[in-house]
Every structure is written in C-alpha cells, then in structure tokens.
Structure 1
Amino acid sequence: MCTFGQGAFLAWKDYGIEKGKLDNLIENISALLESGTISDIQQAFSILHVKKELQPKILKRLNLN
C-alpha cells in the first residue's frame, strides 16, 4: 500500500505527462497550420492520430472552438 504522498506524487506525475503530451500535440498542430502543409485542423488531427477525447481540449487551447 502506498502513502498519501506517494499517491499524490504519482497523480501529479501522470498529470505532467498528459500535459506534456497535449502541449506537444498543440505545438505540432500549430506548426502544420502555420506552414500551410494542411488546410484545416481536422487534417492535423488525422495526420497526428489525435484521440477524439483530446480534440476539444486542443481546440479550446488554440481558441478554435
């Protein structure tokens, strides 16, 4: 059994990893859009295989919702 401190650490670690993944996806999507390589956000989601549950979060962060 883990202590509260260990549980809190693991929860924050998982949060940090997920936030890092989301930040990385947003950077990649922004780069694709800015470069003109793609014409819309849905193409970026498809190319980068973005999970459906992450798409609203990304749209909100990019102010495209």
Structure 2
Amino acid sequence: MNLSFGVKMLIFLSCFLFSVIVAIVAGLIMHKPNTPKGPAFLYGGCAFGATLPLCLGVLTSLGVL
C-alpha cells in the first residue's frame, strides 16, 4: 500500500492509543484494594510494551506501514 505520511501517522497513533487502553485495563485488572499501586503500574507498562510492537508488527507485515 502506498499511503501518505499523514495517514501512516494516524494509523500509528491509533495503535498507540489502543495499546494505552490495553495497558489501563490490564493495570485495573491487576490492582487489588488495600495493596500498593506499583505492581499494577508495572503490569500495565508491560502490557503496553507487549501490545504496541505486536500491533505495529501486524500492520507492517500487512504492508500498511
């Protein structure tokens, strides 16, 4: 696909925001009341770090990026 730079940036931004949403949900699922918030942040960060390259890898292999 021959997409313009602006469209590619919008696709990247949508992947980034999707990864942020996955990280927030993972952190909320991990957090339990009356426990420190640090492990939940770490879990959410790991979820973000795993989701973003996965999304970008799929889109790259499809030829979108």
Normalized against structure 2, the TM-score is what?
0.54
Aligned residue in 2 for 1:61? none
Matched, 1:12 2:7: no
Whether the 8 Å CA contact 2:27–2:44 is kept in 1: the answer is: no
Q: Is 1:43 aligned to 2:39, yes or no? A: yes
For structure 2, the 5+ residue unaligned runs are: 47-65
Count of residue pairs brought into register by the alignment = 45
1 or 2 for the larger relative contact order (CA 8 Å, sep ≥6)?
2
**Normalised TM-score (structure 1):** 0.54
Offset of residue 7 of structure 1: 0.8
Secondary structure of 1:50's counterpart equals helix
Instruction: Supply the RMSD in Å over aligned alpha carbons.
Output: 2.6
Percent pairwise identity: 7
Runs of 4+ displaced beyond 4 Å: none
Q: Does the 8 A contact of 2:26 with 2:44 survive in 1?
A: no
Gaps of 5+ in 1: 52-65
